Amino acid sequence: MVGGVVALGKDGPAEAVGRGIEPYGVHQPGIAAASPRHAELVAFNLRHGVDKAALGRLMRLWTGDIVALANGRAAPGDTAPELVIGNVALTTTVGFGPRVFELTGEKPPGLDDLPVMKRDRLAPAWSGGDLLIMVGADDPVSVVHAVRRLVADAKPFATPTWRQTGFWNGTGSDGQPVTGRNLFGQVDGTGNPAVGTPEFDATVWSSDGPDWFRGGTTLVVRRIRLNLDTWDELTRSEQERAIGRKLSTGAPLTGAAEHDELDLEARDADGRPVIAENAHARLSHHSENDGRRIFRKGLNYVQDTGPARESGLIFLSHQADVAAQFLPLLARLDAADALNEWTTSIGSAVFALPPGFQPGTWLAQNLLA
Ligand code: HEM
pLDDT digits (tens, 9 = 90+) for 55-86: 999 999 999 999 999 999 999 999 999 999 99
pLDDT value of residue 132: 99
CA distance 98 to 269: 51
Find out whether the beta carbon of 45 lies less than 6 Å from any atom of ligand 1. Answer: no
- Report CA(333)–ligand 1 centroid distance (Å): 9
Which residue has the CA at smallest separation from atom 28 of ligand 1? Answer: 330
Domain that holds residue 291: 5-368
Find out whether the beta carbon of 312 lies less than 6 Å from any atom of ligand 1. Answer: no
- Report CA(287)–ligand 1 centroid distance (Å): 14
- Report CA(273)–ligand 1 centroid distance (Å): 19
334 in catalytic set: no
Closest atom of ligand 1 relative to the 326 alpha carbon: 30
Closest atom of ligand 1 relative to the 250 alpha carbon: 13
Closest atom of ligand 1 relative to the 188 alpha carbon: 16
Closest atom of ligand 1 relative to the 262 alpha carbon: 40
pLDDT digits (tens, 9 = 90+) for 6-58: 433 333 333 334 789 999 999 999 999 999 999 999 999 999 999 999 999 99
Residues 173-204: b if buried by 16+ CB within 10 A, e if exposed: eeeeebbbbbbbebbbbbbbbeeeeeebeebb
Average pLDDT over residues 128-136: 98
Q: Name the catalytic one among 65, 78, 130, 188.
A: 188
Which residue has the CA at smallest separation from atom 32 of ligand 1? Answer: 284
Instruction: Compute the CA torsion angle 172, 177, 178, 184 (nearest 10 deg).
Output: 70
Average pLDDT over residues 235-239: 98
Task: Say yes or no to pLDDT of 264 above 50.
Answer: yes
Closest atom of ligand 1 relative to the 286 alpha carbon: 41
- Rounded (5°) CA angle 198-223-177: 45
- Parallel/antiparallel/unpaired status of strands 295-305 and 308-319: antiparallel
pLDDT digits (tens, 9 = 90+) for 159-215: 999 999 999 999 999 999 999 999 999 999 999 999 999 999 999 999 989 999 999
pLDDT value of residue 318: 98
Which parts of the chain fold into alpha helices (H)?
14-17, 52-70, 100-104, 140-154, 198-204, 228-231, 236-243, 280-283, 327-336, 365-368
Find out whether the beta carbon of 246 lies less than 6 Å from any atom of ligand 1. Answer: no
Find out whether the beta carbon of 313 lies less than 6 Å from any atom of ligand 1. Answer: yes
How many domains does the chain contain in total? 1
Find out whether the beta carbon of 33 lies less than 6 Å from any atom of ligand 1. Answer: no
Find out whether the beta carbon of 182 lies less than 6 Å from any atom of ligand 1. Answer: yes
Which residue has the CA at smallest separation from atom 34 of ligand 1? Answer: 284
- Report CA(245)–ligand 1 centroid distance (Å): 11
- Report CA(341)–ligand 1 centroid distance (Å): 15
pLDDT digits (tens, 9 = 90+) for 285-298: 999 999 999 999 99
* pTM score, whole prediction: 0.95
Average pLDDT over residues 232-248: 98
